[in-house]
Every structure is written in structure tokens, then in C-alpha cells.
């Protein structure tokens, strides 16, 4: 009888096949992934994931998981007006969607009514415009709120939006105790990555406590917070960083609620989570299993007695940042892989991104494919037949354990240094994420990380794709008309009294959600409710400080990178100073990954980079460009305001006699808008997937340097 082969035997055979090449892969998390895992990898560490439905819930929060009930198909959507979004929701529900997830426009997120001068380019563009109860009633028209679970991605203007939802339900005949769903209400991650905040950290944390307190008393079926790692993922966080900071945020919120006198077991069962799912399939599966393990540990440490309090329940969304503008039908494949990772990892609900979301809001066509991806997984793939089908995989169990250990180290650091609120204020989590994002971008630009259709297997020519376009001016006019009518019809004295009570409550110890519900009932607008609190809390502002040295380090020894640096030196000698670029974020979009990566990379290449403040108007950007005497402005756009904001900036520079300042655009810009922007005076457009080194080379040419194109330089 032949002896059983050993690990040593396998190693020798593998070495022979690959001629001694090391097959170990180091992930962006710094985890060394071996080419083979065996039972020893689990047994040596004493790994025991337990059983589904039992703590630490590594294998799932329910004993039966999808065999008993599949995950909820909850597509995130909202655009234009409440009428348009309502019609879209009803079509999707009729086609098999099971829950609603509302995307609000940026004006709403930032607490501005549609008639505010700062949001001219933002109304209805990246979500639905909600100015009052009247809009919210239309949004949910013919959708029974006692039967439909509703998720709302809202953090900054969380108080008025939740108040409008409560009153819309009330006037539909649905009492608060029957409402089910989730409000995101996760402000710490806004200060870290997404930036759609309104108030400073301290009053923002008070708002969260008030919401948890109110919903615990009046809305027992409603999740008071969705602690979001998704936006960290999108900002460039590694799986370890996303895990650690999300769980640490959750711990901070729980401690904040307990500090107000709430019993942990009275509210913890209504805390939920939200994770992004990227393309490293097994890492994402392991991430969700590790998250449940870590949360069980955290809640046990905080004194929770109920096992329900220790369950981490999560919604997931496939990655937006993995979607590509180039060869976009590949995005269907990417979303499918990510959806499988989410479901095999044990999510409770899922949103699948549409193939065109790298460049625009989804069309009905692309939204149908995205939704059907989930339906096919539920109905055809057999995934729902077995509880935790990847449980017991040597690789998955070992990877889960490694993620738990690595994330726990960061969580312990957060605790040792005073908690997550202090860590956010100190800025080191944001810096860690930005370093990871810059490193990832450098790896893509160099071709070390392959993206099919972008930096490898690229099509020689791209077919045009039909995308959804929103007439921003028309939407805004309609919203303003509805606002004016509501203000004319309401009992003004009663409304102002309710708003004054809200301001007084913000000054004292009143529950601001309860007071906002009263104000919403009297037809106070979103901007008025936000202003009533801003009078006490103030409005928070911050200045981007991109990281340095990460991009340059990744490109050490690269000939093309060296050529760009030489070009920068040549321009500097001609000008008598470094070429100066302002990276501008206009409008109310706070997603700053792209802007920060560009700022970091250009700084490393020798440019003098001014990182403009978030949320600028075109006028404020012009003033900064003139004050700093820049050579060029790079306008970063991710929220579809480019056709309004960038031409206005160019005109303002012309009026100031500085048409010599070059304006280029980057970010999520559909190809069909390129010609419009060029005619408006934009000299360069760099969409998703653009190589930053080549962008820099292009800008050097725009500044008059004889920089050879990439193909000539390679000859």
C-alpha cells in the first residue's frame, strides 16, 4: 500500500512544476496567502467556527440561513423627483425586488432645500430631491409602509428625513410601531471618508443617541443605525481597515447610547451594519464571517446579555469602485462575483450595482440586469439550499481567523487611544485609508493589479453606451414650486413655533428627533429643520490633507514616471517655480477618494498642489485659483454636476481676465458629455481608469512642455 503523500511531498512536486517560483501572494491587507491550505492550518490555531445561529455567529446569525429564508433583494435607488423615483420603485417591486433603499440627492444630504444657492448643480442629480413631508408622501405613494421595509442612506440630514418618513407613514395611516427598515445614521464614517456631514462631531453624536432613544421607545421594528464600512471600502480601505474601523464605530455608538442611560440589550438588537464587497472573492467571504465574530466579542465585552444583541446583521453592496468606464459589460461579471461573495459570506440583504454606474445613474435596462443577478443566484444557483456552504474550507477558515486577529489589533489601538470619535478627530484612520487608496491606484497604473479592459485586454475602440441623464434645472424648478406652495399653505405661526421648540431643544436636553417630527407635521422644510439645529450646533468644515510619498514609492525605478518628473523639473525651471494645480471639489459631493489620490500622486511627481476645500461653489473655486495664482484647475466630479458647475467656473475665470488658467475635469463623467465640456473650454477629461502618470504627462503638454506620448516614449 502506497504511503499517503505529505505536505513535504506536495511542496517538492509544486516547486518542480513552477521551477522554484514562490507562489505565495501578499494581499493589500499585508496577508501572505499560501498556495495551499490543509486541515493543519485550522487545527494548529484551534479554529472552531461553531454552528450557524449560535455565538460567535461566524457561520451565520440564523441556524437555517438562506435554506429557511433567502436574503432580501434591496436595490439602492433614487433620482430626479419623488414622482420619478416612486414610479421606478414600483416597477422594481413588481419585478421581484423585496425591499426599498432610498438614495437622496446631495442637497438633501447636506441639509439644503432645493432653492438654496449652494445646490444649483446638485438637485435631483445623484439621488431624489426631498424638501418636505410632501415629497416623502409622493415618494412612497401606493407603497404600504406597514408592509415594506425601507432603508434610507442618510447621515447629515438624518433628523428631518426620518421625521418626514414618520409623518408620511402617519398620514398613510401607518403608526410608528409598524415601521420596519433602517436609517444609516452613521456620522463617524462621514468624517472619515464620505463627508456628507452637516454638524460638528459632538452634536452629531448627540443626534445619534437621540435617534436610538426615540426609535427604541416608538419604533421597535426599525433599525436605528446602519454602521457602514461600505464607504470606507469605496474610499480605498483594505478589508482589515474596513473591518476594524466599522466595528470600532459600532462600539463607539453603543457606548454613546449607554452613556445616556439606555440599557444595551434594549437597543443593540436594532443596530445593523453595511459592508462593501470587492473583487477578492474569498477575502470578502471571510470579511463578513470575521465581522460577525468581532461584533460578538465587542458586545460581550460591553456587557450585553442577550444573544440577539451580539448578532451582527448586515446589508451589503457590490463595489462601486471596481466598476469600470472602459469595456463596461465586464461590470456584469464583476457584480456577479461580488454578489456571490456577499451571499456565501452570509449577508441579510444585498444591493447589486448596475453595469453603467461607473459613469451615470442606472437605466431601467441596467437596473434590471443588476436586480436579476440576485434573482438568478436565489432561484437557479443552489446557493440557498445549504447553510454556510464554504464553512470548513481550510482557506476560508484560516483567512477568517487572520482577518479577526489583524482587525482586532487596530480595534484595540482605537480603544487605547480614547475611542473612535477621538481617532477620527486625530485623523489617523482617514490617513491609513488614503495611503491604501494611493497604493492601490499606483498598482493599477503600473499594471501590477490587473483590471480587465482597463490596463489589460483593452478594446481598441469603445462602443457608445446609453446613459440616464437628469435635467437638473427642470427638477430644481419643480422642487422650488412645490416648496413655495407648501410654505404658502401651511400655518406659519405653528410652523415657526415648532422650529423654535426644536432650536430650544437642541440647546437643552430635548430629543431633537421628537421635536423635528412635530416640525415636520407643521410642514417645516428640510432646510428649515436643519437650520434650526445649525443655529445651535454650527456647520462643520474641514480641509483635505492628502497623504504623500505612497505613489512615488510604488513607482521607484519606473522610466515613464522618471520622464514625468523630468518634465515637471523642466517646467519649473521655465516658470521659476513649480507648476501649480488646484484640485477642486465643487458642489455638495463629499466623495474625495479621486481628488485625494490625484493630489497625492501629483505632489509626489513634483507639482505644487493646492487641495481645495470640499463643497465649494464655482465662485469660491475661482477666488482660490486667483489667490493662489495657479496654472490649472482640476475639477473632480462624481455626482453629475459637471455640466453645470465646470462651465460656470470657466466663465468666471474668463470674466476675471484669467482664461489662461487651464481647466481639466476628472471623475465620473459619461463619454457623451465630453464634447459639451470641451466646447465649454475644458482642455482635458480623465474618466475612471485613467492612468495618473499619463494624466500628468498630458497636463505638462498643456502647460507647454514637449512631453512625448506614452507610445513614443516606449520606442
Catalytic positions, please? 76, 230-231, 585, 589, 591
Cα–Cα distance, 130 to 139 (Å, whole number)? 9
Query: Do 317 and 256 touch, CB atoms closer than 8 A?
Result: no
Cα–Cα distance, 319 to 314 (Å, whole number)? 15
Query: Do 588 and 618 touch, CB atoms closer than 8 A?
Result: no
Q: 152 has which bridge partners?
A: 102, 183
Greatest Cα pair distance, the chain, in angstroms, is 94
Query: Do 437 and 596 touch, CB atoms closer than 8 A?
Result: yes
The backbone torsions φ and ψ at residue 350, rounded to the nearest 5 degrees and listed phi first, read: -150, 140
Q: 271 has which bridge partners?
A: 225
Output the DSSP codes for 421-460. HHHHHHTHHHHHHHHHHHHHHHHHHHTSS--BTTTBS--S
Output the DSSP codes for 139-193. HTTT--TTT--EEE--STTHHHHHHHHHHHHHHTT--GGG--EEE---HHHIIII
Please enumerate in sequence order all residues whose Cβ is within 8 A of that of 566, keeping only pairs 6 or more positions apart, or say none. none
Cis bond before residue 56 (omega within 30° of 0)? yes
Closest CA to 616 of 600, 592, 599: 592
Q: ∠322-327-331 over CA atoms, to 5°?
A: 40
Cα–Cα distance, 221 to 423 (Å, whole number)? 32
Provide the 8-state DSSP code for 308.
G
Q: How far lies 510's CA from each of 186, 198, 496, 567, in Å?
A: 21, 19, 17, 61
> How many other C-beta atoms can be found within 10 angstroms of the C-beta atom of residue 438?
29
> How many other C-beta atoms can be found within 10 angstroms of the C-beta atom of residue 417?
12
Pairing of β 225-228 and β 181-183: unpaired
How many residues does the structure list for the chain?
Answer: 715
> How many other C-beta atoms can be found within 10 angstroms of the C-beta atom of residue 267?
22
Q: How far lies 443's CA from each of 23, 455, 474, 625, in Å?
A: 19, 11, 42, 31
Cα–Cα distance, 132 to 123 (Å, whole number)? 14
Query: Do 510 and 504 touch, CB atoms closer than 8 A?
Result: yes
Amino acid at each position: 500500500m502506497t504511503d499517503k503523500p505529505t505536505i513535504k511531498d506536495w511542496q517538492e512536486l509544486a516547486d518542480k512544476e513552477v521551477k522554484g517560483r514562490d507562489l505565495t501572494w501578499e494581499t493589500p491587507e499585508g496577508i501572505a496567502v499560501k498556495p495551499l491550505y490543509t486541515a493543519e492550518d485550522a487545527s494548529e490555531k484551534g479554529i472552531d467556527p461553531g454552528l450557524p445561529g449560535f455565538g460567535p455567529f461566524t457561520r451565520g446569525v440564523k441556524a437555517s440561513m438562506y435554506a429557511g429564508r433567502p436574503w432580501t433583494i434591496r436595490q439602492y435607488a433614487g433620482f430626479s423627483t419623488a414622482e420619478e423615483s416612486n414610479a421606478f420603485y414600483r416597477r422594481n417591486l413588481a419585478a421581484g425586488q423585496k425591499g426599498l433603499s432610498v438614495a437622496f440627492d446631495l442637497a438633501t444630504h447636506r441639509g439644503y432645500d432645493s432653492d438654496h444657492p449652494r445646490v444649483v448643480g446638485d438637485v435631483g442629480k445623484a439621488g431624489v430631491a426631498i424638501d418636505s413631508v410632501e415629497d416623502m408622501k409622493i415618494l412612497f405613494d401606493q407603497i404600504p409602509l406597514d408592509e415594506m421595509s425601507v432603508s434610507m442612506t442618510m447621515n447629515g440630514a438624518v433628523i428631518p428625513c426620518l421625521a418626514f418618513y414618520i409623518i408620511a407613514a402617519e398620514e398613510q395611516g401607518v403608526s410608528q410601531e409598524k415601521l420596519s427598515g433602517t436609517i444609516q445614521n452613521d456620522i463617524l464614517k462621514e468624517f472619515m471618508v464620505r463627508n456628507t456631514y452637516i454638524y460638528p462631531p459632538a452634536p452629531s453624536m448627540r443626534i445619534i443617541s437621540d435617534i436610538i432613544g426615540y426609535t427604541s421607545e416608538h419604533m421597535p421594528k426599525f433599525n436605528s443605525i446602519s454602521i457602514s464600512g461600505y464607504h470606507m471600502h469605496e474610499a480605498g480601505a483594505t478589508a482589515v481597515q474596513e473591518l476594524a474601523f466599522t466595528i470600532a464605530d459600532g462600539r463607539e455608538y453603543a457606548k454613546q447610547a449607554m452613556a445616556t442611560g439606555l440599557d444595551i440589550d434594549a437597543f443593540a438588537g436594532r443596530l445593523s451594519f453595511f459592508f462593501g464587497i470587492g473583487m477578492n472573492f474569498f477575502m470578502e467571504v471571510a470579511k463578513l464571517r470575521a465581522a460577525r465574530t468581532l461584533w460578538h466579542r465587542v458586545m460581550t465585552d460591553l456587557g450585553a446579555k442577550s444573544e440577539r444583541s451580539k448578532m451582527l446583521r448586515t446589508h451589503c453592496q457590490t463595489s462601486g469602485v471596481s466598476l469600470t468606464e472602459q469595456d463596461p459589460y465586464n461590470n456584469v461579471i464583476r457584480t456577479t462575483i461580488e454578489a456571490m461573495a456577499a451571499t456565501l459570506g452570509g449577508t441579510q440583504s444585498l444591493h447589486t450595482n448596475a453595469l453603467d454606474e461607473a459613469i451615470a445613474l442606472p437605466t431601467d435596462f441596467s437596473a434590471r440586469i443588476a436586480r436579476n443577478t440576485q434573482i438568478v443566484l436565489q432561484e437557479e444557483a443552489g446557493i440557498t439550499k445549504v447553510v454556510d456552504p464554504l464553512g470548513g474550507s481550510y482557506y476560508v477558515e484560516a483567512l477568517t481567523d487572520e482577518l479577526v486577529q489583524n482587525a482586532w489589533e487596530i480595534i484595540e489601538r482605537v480603544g487605547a487611544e480614547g475611542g473612535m470619535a477621538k481617532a477620527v478627530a486625530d485623523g489617523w484612520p482617514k490617513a491609513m485609508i488614503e495611503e491604501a487608496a494611493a497604493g492601490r491606484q499606483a498598482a493599477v497604473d503600473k499594471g501590477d493589479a490587473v483590471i480587465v479592459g482597463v490596463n489589460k485586454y483593452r478594446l481598441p475602440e469603445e462602443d457608445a453606451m446609453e446613459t440616464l441623464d437628469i435635467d437638473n434645472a427642470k427638477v430644481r424648478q419643480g422642487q422650488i414650486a412645490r416648496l413655495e406652495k407648501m410654505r404658502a399653505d401651511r400655518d406659519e405661526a405653528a410652523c415657526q413655533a415648532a422650529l423654535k421648540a426644536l432650536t430650544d431643544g437642541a440647546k437643552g436636553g430635548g430629543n431633537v428627533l421628537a421635536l423635528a417630527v412635530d416640525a415636520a407635521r407643521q410642514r417645516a422644510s428640510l432646510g428649515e429643520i436643519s437650520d434650526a439645529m445649525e443655529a445651535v450646533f454650527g456647520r462643520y468644515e474641514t480641509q483635505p490633507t492628502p497623504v504623500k510619498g505612497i505613489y512615488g514609492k510604488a513607482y521607484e525605478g519606473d522610466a515613464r514616471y522618471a520622464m514625468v518628473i523630468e518634465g515637471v523639473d523642466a517646467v519649473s525651471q521655465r516658470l521659476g517655480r513649480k507648476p501649480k494645480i488646484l484640485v477642486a471639489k465643487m458642489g455638495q459631493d463629499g466623495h474625495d477618494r479621486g481628488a485625494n489620490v490625484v493630489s497625492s500622486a501629483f505632489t509626489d511627481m513634483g507639482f505644487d498642489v493646492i487641495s481645495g476645500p470640499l463643497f465649494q461653489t464655482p465662485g469660491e473655486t475661482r477666488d482660490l485659483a486667483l489667490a493662489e495664482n495657479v496654472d490649472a484647475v482640476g475639477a473632480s466630479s462624481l455626482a453629475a454636476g459637471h455640466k453645470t458647475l465646470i462651465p460656470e467656473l470657466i466663465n468666471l475665470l474668463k470674466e476675471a481676465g484669467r482664461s489662461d488658467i487651464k481647466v481639466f475635469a476628472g471623475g465620473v463623467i459619461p463619454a457623451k458629455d465630453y464634447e459639451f465640456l470641451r466646447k465649454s473650454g475644458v482642455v482635458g477629461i480623465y474618466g475612471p481608469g485613467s492612468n495618473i502618470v499619463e494624466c500628468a504627462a498630458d497636463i505638462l503638454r498643456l502647460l507647454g512642455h514637449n512631453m512625448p506620448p506614452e507610445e513614443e516614449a516606449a520606442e
